[in-house]
Structure 1
Amino acid sequence: MFGGLSFMVDDRMAVAAGRVGDLLVRVNPADYDALLDRGGVPAYMGKDRPMGPGWLSVPSERVDEDDELAQWIDVGIHSGDGRP
């Protein structure tokens, strides 16, 4: 999806690995602003089409360590259960 390799959990896309090492992450919209503060950036479909508060892009520099990557994957997996 969106030029990356998607990973689904419980019939929902949780994360997608981008071509340049970035990560597209499904997020709980209630946690969107807090996750921006953690290093996520708004995700876009094309140049001027934001995906909204249910998705973030995480630059490759923010997921180059295993523990950082695991934290963002956890966000994507648990985006629907109210956990940050």
Structure 2
Amino acid sequence: MAYDINLANRVRERLSELPNIEEKAMMGGLTFMYNDKMCVGIIKAELMCRIDPAFHEAAVEKPGCRTMDFTNRPMIGYVLIEQGALKTRAEFDYWIDLSLQFNSEAKSSKKKK
């Protein structure tokens, strides 16, 4: 499954000055890890954001945002944003900033040995 390279480049540029950013192929797309924790990603043509689960319901009420749902299992705290809702720099930065803010509180996945 391919992901939108232009959207990936926008994310790369936005995160370029942060330390501890790592890109990983994941979930058929591209994921950006920050401090060894999933932060944002690209799935097909949508931006995936890991956000505070307490804010999830309010987030999915915003235009172009929906709950990430793989195999009919909604993932609270993970949202997908359509590119139509990311047209301006302010719209794009809003979602990236939301993910970066939650990253300090997010739990890191256990590393496989």
| TM-score normalised by length of structure 1 | 0.79
Structure 2 counterpart of 1:73: 96
Quote how far apart the aligned CAs of 1:80 are. Answer: 4.5
Structure with more relative contact order (C-alpha pairs < 8 Å, separation 6 or more)? 1
Gap regions ≥5 residues in structure 1: none
Moved over 3 A (4+): none
| TM-score normalised by length of structure 2 | 0.61
Q: Distance in 2 between matches of 1:3 and 1:78?
A: 25
Matches within 5 A, 1:37-52: 37-39=61-63, 40-46=65-71, 48-51=72-75
User: What's the Cα RMSD here?
Assistant: 1.7
* Number of matched pairs: 79
CA contact (8 A) 1:25 1:72 kept: yes
Which one has the bigger strand percentage? 2
Q: Distance in 1 between matches of 2:55 and 2:104?
A: 11
- Structure 1 residues 4 and 64, CA, compared in 2 at 3 Å: closer, same or farther? farther
CA contact (8 A) 2:51 2:102 kept: yes
- Structure 1 residues 81 and 12, CA, compared in 2 at 3 Å: closer, same or farther? closer
